Amino acid sequence: MIEFMHSINFTQIFNWILIGLFIINFLLVLSIIFLERRTAMATWAWILVLFFIPIVGFIIYLLFGRTIYKQQIFKHEEFLPIIKKDVETQLEDLKDNSLSFGNPTINRHDQLARLLLNNNDSFITTHNDITLFTDGHNKFTQLKRDIMNAKHHIHVQYYIFKMDELGQSIYELLVEKQRQGVHVRILYDDLGSRTLYYQNFKELTKLGGQVERFFPSWFPIINTRMNHRNHRKIVVIDGIIGYVGGFNVGDEYLGTHKKFGYWRDNHLRITGETVRALQYRFTTDWNSHHKHRKLILDKNYCPEIQHAEHTRNITPIQIGTSGPDEPWEQIKYGYLKMITSAKQSVYIQTPYFIPDQSFLDAIKLVAMSGVEVNIMIPNKPDHPLVYWGTYYNVGELLDTNANIYIYEKGFLHAKTLVIDGEVSSIGTANFDNRSFALNFEINAFVYDKQLAEETLEAYEEDIKHSTKLTKEIYNERSFIIKCKEAIARLISPVL
């Protein structure tokens, strides 16, 4: 009798648990549909996850599904009124056709400039000198040289920072500069740099250097903000030198990883007025997570830029940023405007190509309108499902006569868009939903023929190490690959 009663109680408890899970799932579905800012595809994807795998789906949603739109992540900074004033002035001048940069490229693409001003407060800067790095050895050699020459401060922000041979060598330089009295601040993403701990920076912090994590996890392994990461890579030195692009800090970015081999990326070193925009972005990200000593910018952090004679005549740059806390997908809009404005050519390099349908339609539109479209992806996946989603999407574009290249030399990590051989976007944002809507990203939009030509020269060299994907090759893919593509396509809105 007692055993029977225990059996009834257990059955009742189990039933109540199932009912509770159903109610939670149902409430989550309602919140996704009515309260959260998502595309219809992403909404349906999460509904399927929650209904078909209720317990596991609930955990997945907690880790990956929650949005942070409208959360006050970034505090009000004292330099925001300065930015607003610059943006308003430039918008008025563009409206009156009185804003002249002496640069015909930006004059031809004034709508892109206006979009970034309106949508992203991306004020236009000029008198910039740019160096393009396509190889990790060259980039980090120059970065180390600039660190050694620093006089006042060094601000370092990376998604991935590893204490391997490369990371240790950079860290030792930073420790030495801190010892010399240079102010060193390091901000890294807690998930991207999950092998890092505060004790790794013990020597630096003892000397007065400062280190902070972005969206840190308070539980082992589990991070409740796993889906929203700071993917930006920024270095600012003395307020006069800035770095932005695709390279993280780790030995694999020097091409030493056995699986990926040579690492192909794009990164910019900038001197000139644009460094102020990079400084603003670093400061905003830093102050959002540093609770004790807020970084206050003064003339030492934002010095007046002296225009060197060797600086490129007029090189307008806008620094675009985006994140899940914003109502608009700013960098995606910048990409779309560039693509739809192209008259002659579009060149894209990306490790991940899983955009939404509007983006794919834009590319199809320009390709079928006679614009030469070139897209290059790697042949080595670092995230298998993402790769097969990428492969499916580029395969779909073959019917539009787009040129699709599979990079074979190593791993292609560059996030680059060049149109008409004169406007370039280089930065951290991939061509996928994660970069457009979920991660915090940063890109430089550059109106400069010389940089575009240098980038396209590197692209043409990459084509020599690539296989061109044709419809015949794509149609011969195996049944297993087709199945992988189908699965990746189904869940692509949440990848």
At residue 148, the 3 state secondary structure works out as helix
E-only strand ranges, 229-314: 234-237, 241-245, 262-264, 267-272
Query: Long-range CB contacts (< 8 A, 24+ apart) of 84-88?
Result: 84/121, 86/123, 87/117, 87/121, 87/122, 87/123
Q: How far is CA 358 from the centre of its chain?
A: 19
Catalytic residue among 139, 177, 228, 231: 231
- Measured distance CA(466)–CA(460) in Å, rounded: 10
Whether 238 is catalytic is yes
Whether 465 is catalytic is no
Q: Around 138, how many Cα atoms within 13 Å sit in the side-chain half-sphere?
A: 12
Task: Please provide residue 210's backbone torsions phi and psi, each rounded to the nearest 5 degrees.
Answer: -120, 140
Six-digit token string for 6: 């225990």
Catalytic residue among 127, 153, 177, 413: 413
Whether 231 is catalytic is yes
DSSP state of 333: H
Catalytic residue among 139, 153, 228, 233: 233
Q: Are the C-beta atoms of 347 and 459 separated by less than 8 Å?
A: yes
- DSSP assignment of 154-211: EEEEES-B--SHHHHHHHHHHHHHHHTT-EEEEEEETTTTTT--GGGGHHHHHTT-EE
Q: Which residue has the tokens 């970069």?
A: 435
Of 341, 460, 332, 468, the residue nearest 398 (C-alpha)? 468
Q: Are the C-beta atoms of 332 and 436 separated by less than 8 Å?
A: yes
Whether 259 is catalytic is no
First-to-final CA distance of the chain: 52
344 Rama sector, left if φ>0, alpha if ψ -120 to 50, beta otherwise: alpha
Catalytic residue among 267, 415, 449, 484: 415
Catalytic residue among 146, 189, 420, 462: 420
Q: Around 218, how many Cα atoms within 13 Å sit in the side-chain half-sphere?
A: 1
Rg for the chain, CA atoms, rounded: 24
Q: Around 367, how many Cα atoms within 13 Å sit in the side-chain half-sphere?
A: 21
Task: Please provide residue 332's backbone torsions phi and psi, each rounded to the nearest 5 degrees.
Answer: -60, -45
The four Cα atoms 366, 121, 355, 49 give a dihedral, to 10 degrees, of -150
- Measured distance CA(379)–CA(105) in Å, rounded: 34
Cite the active site residues: 231, 233, 238, 413, 415, 420
